[in-house]
Every structure is written in structure tokens, then in C-alpha cells.
Structure 1
């Protein structure tokens, strides 16, 4: 019965307090807008990391492996020996095509300077030389216009994001790279980080960039996913090789971790500073609300209302304002940032991606808003409950 009585008291006091919010519209708006700003900034900044990480992690999978120079953290920093592809292609763990050729693509990653359509400034873009079996190793990559390049020719296929953002990359265009003319013969869409790349024949790209004998990485596929350990042991124990191997999912996850972590730390720091201001705004608003309702609260306590219902009711009032601000901020962040295109530097060049305002981010934004409301309302709630009844009844 005590629980039911307390619940009824909380409901009664909370209804009265929430009903008076429109009468304090200016002060209430300060809390709502302040919390909306915190949530909007937090969700917007974290959406950068989410989008970047999502783009990279969906580029890899557990079926393909990437072989890099031992100790290299990325393809751009890796240089494999000239004979490395031939040695590794003999490994019995590798899958083979219908012609009994190992499913392996020797690849070279370099940078190409292109002019952005929006600013006219030069920016670095990843230019990847691929082997003839690269398309079979990446079935998600589809030509959406034109054709693939012919082996031995200075021809390029361009990722859809590169074609969209950079001048001189349309189908049939000719661009100068390392003093040589290259023709765009196709546009592809991969739905991942490869959309930020140009592709060419690795045997043509290498000499053009003075990397004729070296490759950055090998992309391979095993005949059995359980053969990874045996394949890794074979490579590590071969005295002719100094390489490391990992799944492509592991590789791209590692590439995204550092930047995503930095963005999250920056977002949380900025949002925390703003949250302090929102908390002070909530404190000021709720202290004013308690002061204007002092006689009302004292009267309720005088006729038998306990302190707990008073505390909870004030907190609920603040949490309602916080929830409104949180929903406003989350909604604005979703409208403005979800799917917004951006780019950042990755291994070899820019990586173009879209902000991702995920349901998890929206949920975390609302939780942050409610936390601010709780902290901002706690002290005024305690003050309201501890105010001497006689003193409060004498207040105007």
C-alpha cells in the first residue's frame, strides 16, 4: 500500500509540474535547446567515425587474405619482393580457378593527384594496380559503365565516388599521370572503400611509377577457410619470405580503428564541454521552477506528501525537458548528417564515405540527454524536498 500511495503522490505532483512547463516557456526552451545542441553535436561527430569505420570494414571479408611486407601497417607502406608472388602462388592452401591458376592478385597502391569538382584543388586519390584475377576475388565490384581495362594498355577504371567528386574522370576522359596519358574506359561500383580508387593493370602501372619489380600487397583466397593457420605458418617459416598475412576484414578493421577512435574521443570531449553548459542551464531553470512553486510544494508536504514524491516529480519534469531536447537534437542530426558525403585521408589517398547516423547513435544521444537532465534536476529536486515547510509557506 505504501508503494501505491507514493506512486500516486509522484504522479500527482509530476502532472502539476509538467502542466506548468508552458507557463515557463522561455526558461524551458533554454534547457531544451541546450540539450538539443549537445545531442546534435555528439551524434553528428560520432556519425563521422561510424561512417568511416562502416565503409572500411565492409570492404573486407573472411574469405580473402592480404599479404603485406612484414611489419607494414598498410599497403602504402608495404613493398614486397619481385619473386614473392610466384613463391606464394605455389602454396597448396590457395584456391584455384577453372584453369588451375592460383586465386591471387599482385597489387600495387600508389597515389594520383586529381582536381576536385567543387573546389578545383588538387587532392590525392588511391591508384591501385590489380592482377587479372582481382575481379574474381572481389565479386562485389560491378562495372556500371564502359568496360574493364585491357592488359598492357594505359587504361583506367574509376570508382563511382571518384567519378562523382573529381574532374576529368568521366568515361572516355584522358588524364596525365607521371607524364603519361591514361584513358578512363570504365566506371565501377563496389559499395565500399574501393569506390574511392582508380584501378589499372598492375604490370603497366608499376613501370609508370618506377615500381616495376615490386608490389604493395597480394590478395589471395584459400581453398578452405580452416587452412588459414597452415597457410600463415608456411609463409612465416619460408626463409625466402618476410611477410605477414591477415584476413581482409582484419586489415580494413585495423585501418579504421585509429581514426574512428580519435573522432569518438574528439566528439565526446566537445559534447562533454557543451553538456556542462546544458547542465548549468537545467540547474538554473529548475531552481527557478522550484522557487516559483515553493508554497505549492510546501502545502503538499504539509498535507502528507513525502519528500521522495517531490524529488522524483522534479526529476521527471527535468527529464521531460531533456527528452524533448534529446529528440530534437537527434532528429536534426539525422536530417542533416545521415548519408552526408565526406572524405578523409587513408592509405594511399582519400577515402570517401557517408556519415552514418545509426539507431545506436540515436539511442546513445537520447541517453546522454536524459543523463544531463538527471544531473541538472537532482540538486533542485533535493532542495525542493528539504525546504522547511514553514519558510516555504511564507514565500510569495
Structure 2
């Protein structure tokens, strides 16, 4: 029992150290690296460790089979981890780009998304009269009452049905979002069953060419244009809100998007809403609204990525342990000779650890490179908070690659520790006699 609890405490301590290591900021890791480099250069023990490390690295070609187990195992961990996190990062980046601080969205009080919000038609003129909203040259407020209807389309990938957001926008919807540009065809004409589609929707779903007709709500709709928003709107179909509503027997709107008059506009609008009992509505900048829409899925992906990475990391640690134990056993005579020449325990431990960390670093770089080559910019779609597909691209950022490298070095640290301690405790006389 005593040995069991001692082993359990050791494992928990190593896991704690590994988690702390992974959470360290880059400047802390850089400080540790500089401190180790100075020790290797400026002290006698460090110089001995450096020479012992050179001998170990020089022998890697003769032990490449065992060493490749470490490199490939860690590359797999880092590749999967970075790919998973890149999916969450890409989804978050897409929704973050959708909103900004110059526009705001109004929903029914207590609603978390457009799907469960209702704004009656008699409330829209009241909203348009509120302060804090930009007026166009003709004096009309830049206000877009909108509907969001989920429709079924066919995926290009597997031919299955997927949910897609069919958005009805008001006449000012284009002016409120000037970043949205028509790249093919034209805008829809008000009052007609015409659709413009996002560029992302065109790439992910079938029958999305300009001129084709879609049967939605038992009616024929004509695709007249393609727009590019470079945000989550790229996943949507757009039409006139006054046409979409009657087609789906919707008497009310779900949200109202407005253009704000500078930084003070949001405060003025929020205060005006609070003081008007006829408007029981919540307001948020579109940056905050779409940022919250990404929180749940991003957290889930990060948790899943970390759990899967941790499970794979355990396998990689055992692979590193086996490989390094075999390397230490195969180099028993060499290590014993070094000990006999005056290399004490610390230089020997450091040499084995540095060798393992070098292999781990190679595996980390390889895994991050594979993740970047295969997944960076890869386009997929997933369900968002409105129960419709959001098209986005994987984003392998330098921060994610750095996280993967820290995981790799952490695995190397744990995987090389026990073989290094064994090498330092190797009895000199027995090792030389056995050799």
C-alpha cells in the first residue's frame, strides 16, 4: 500500500507540473530556456551535461527506430490537439468578425438568440424613433427589422439534409452592413421571392448557383446573387423580410439591427429602451451578441481537444518511457564510462532529459506543421446557436502551434524523467561488468 500511494503521489505531482507547464506564458518558458542555457555554458556541471548530451545525440542514428516512436507519437498528439483547437478558433473568429461596436441588435427581453425572440411590427416604428441611431440622408433611421427561418438544404459533402439560416432583412439591412458585397449577380428586389446567398453557403450546399430555383415553404424562390461577408452571414440566404414573413406565416419580426451614432449611441439607445414601457427589449452590440454565440461551442471544443490530447499524451508518455529506458539500457556501458570519468548524476540526468526533449521538440514541430498544412483554411460547417449551419474555416494560429509545442515538451519532460534518473543511478561496476 505504501508503494501504491507513493506511486500515486508521484503521478499526481507529475500531472500537476505538466498542467502548470502547459499554462505558462511564452516569456516564462523563454526565461526557463535562458536559465538552462546559461547553466550549460557557465558552470562545470553544465559543461559536462552539454558534452554528455552531444554524445547521446551523436548516437541517435543508431537508435533511430526507438527514437522515431517518440517523434511520431508526440507528433500525433500535437497534430490532433492543434487541429481540434483550430476548429474552435476558426468558429470563434468567424462569429467575432460578424459583429462590431458600431451596430446593435435588439431582441425580446430575456431572449438569448433570434430563434426565441419576438418583436411586433408596431414596435419597429418606436425603435426607429429612438436616439443613438444613425439617420440616412433622407432622414430615415438605419434600422433593419429581421426574420430568421431555418430551412433544409442538401450538403455537398454527403448529400444529407442540413439546417440553413434563411434571413429576411429590411430595406436598410445592406446599409447597416457595408462590409457585405455582391460578388456575383445582383441584390434581391423588394416584394419578390428572390434570394441572395452567402459565398460560404454556395460552397457547402447543393444547387446554389445564380439563376437556379429553390422550393421553400411550397413556393419557388429564384437565386439572383451571391454575396461575401467574410463572417457568419456567409452561411445564410437573404431575402426581403416582408416577403419571408407571409411565406412562413410569421406576423412579427425576431430582431432589429441598427446602426449606432458613435460610442455614445449605444448608451443613449439603451437608456431610451429602459425608459419606454412599450419596448420590453434587450439591446447588445453585435460584437457582444455574436461573441456570446460562440462561447458554448468554443469551450466544448477546447475541453474535448484537451481531453483527447491528454489521453493520447498518456500513450505518448509510455512510448517515450519505453524508448528511453531501452536507450539507457543500450547505452549502459557508455553511461558507466562517463560516470567513471567523473560525470556525476546531474550531468547524466540532464543529458538524457535534453535528448528526450529534443526528440519531443521534433515531434511537436512535425505535428504542428502537419496540422497547419492539412487543416489551416479547411472549410467546414457546424450548428450554431440558431440551430442552423455556420460555415467557417479552421484557423491554425501561431498561438495554437505554441500550445502544441508546450504539450510536446511537457510529454518529453515526463517521458524522459524516470529513464534519466535510472541512468544517473546506474551502478558503474555492474554496468561495466555486464558490458
2: distance between equivalents of 1:165 and 1:11? Answer: 55
2:203 paired residue among 140, 143, 164: 164
Render the CA deviation track for 1:334-379: whole Å, top value 9, x for unaligned. 1111111111012151111111111111111111111100110011
- The answer (yes or no) to whether the contact 2:102–2:261 under 8 Å persists in 1 is no
- The answer to whether the aligner puts 1:139 opposite 2:144 as a matched pair is no
1: distance between equivalents of 2:124 and 2:280? Answer: 12
2: distance between equivalents of 1:370 and 1:95? Answer: 53
Match of 1:81 in 2: 120
- The answer to whether the aligner puts 1:186 opposite 2:229 as a matched pair is no
Match of 1:256 in 2: 294
Output the TM-score relative to the length of structure 2. Answer: 0.88
Match of 1:114 in 2: 153
> Which secondary structure does the structure 1 equivalent of 2:83 belong to?
helix
Render the CA deviation track for 1:184-214: whole Å, top value 9, x for unaligned. 11111111110100000001111111113x1
Match of 1:392 in 2: 431
- The answer to whether the aligner puts 1:220 opposite 2:258 as a matched pair is yes
2: distance between equivalents of 1:390 and 1:246? Answer: 75
- The answer (yes or no) to whether the contact 2:131–2:272 under 8 Å persists in 1 is no
Match of 2:105 in 1: 66
> Which secondary structure does the structure 1 equivalent of 2:372 belong to?
helix
> Which secondary structure does the structure 2 equivalent of 1:83 belong to?
helix
1:345 paired residue among 359, 383, 392: 383
1: distance between equivalents of 2:345 and 2:160? Answer: 65
2: distance between equivalents of 1:241 and 1:290? Answer: 75
Match of 1:378 in 2: 417
- The answer to whether the aligner puts 1:297 opposite 2:325 as a matched pair is no
2: distance between equivalents of 1:308 and 1:69? Answer: 67
1:3: Cα distance to partner? Answer: 4.2
2: distance between equivalents of 1:240 and 1:203? Answer: 23
1:282 paired residue among 311, 316, 320: 320
> Which secondary structure does the structure 1 equivalent of 2:98 belong to?
coil
1:26: Cα distance to partner? Answer: 1.2
1:104 paired residue among 143, 154, 164: 143
Match of 2:365 in 1: 327
- The answer (yes or no) to whether the contact 1:157–1:184 under 8 Å persists in 2 is yes
Unaligned runs of 5+ in 1: none
The aligned length equals: 395
1: distance between equivalents of 2:243 and 2:341? Answer: 90
1: distance between equivalents of 2:88 and 2:156? Answer: 25
2: distance between equivalents of 1:265 and 1:7? Answer: 39
1: distance between equivalents of 2:356 and 2:207? Answer: 56
2: distance between equivalents of 1:259 and 1:69? Answer: 23
**1:232-247 to 2 correspondence within 5 Å?**
232-247=270-285
Match of 1:174 in 2: 213
Output the TM-score relative to the length of structure 1. Answer: 0.97
- The answer (yes or no) to whether the contact 1:110–1:348 under 8 Å persists in 2 is no
1:112: Cα distance to partner? Answer: 1.6
After superposition, the CA RMSD in angstroms is 1.4
Match of 2:60 in 1: 21
1: distance between equivalents of 2:291 and 2:280? Answer: 23
> Which secondary structure does the structure 1 equivalent of 2:43 belong to?
helix
Render the CA deviation track for 1:145-173: whole Å, top value 9, x for unaligned. 11111111111111111122222221111
- The answer (yes or no) to whether the contact 1:45–1:263 under 8 Å persists in 2 is yes
2: distance between equivalents of 1:368 and 1:118? Answer: 33
2:402 paired residue among 360, 363, 368: 363
Unaligned runs of 5+ in 2: 1-38
2: distance between equivalents of 1:255 and 1:200? Answer: 23
> Which secondary structure does the structure 1 equivalent of 2:121 belong to?
coil
Question: Which structure is higher in helix share?
Answer: 2
1:306: Cα distance to partner? Answer: 2.1
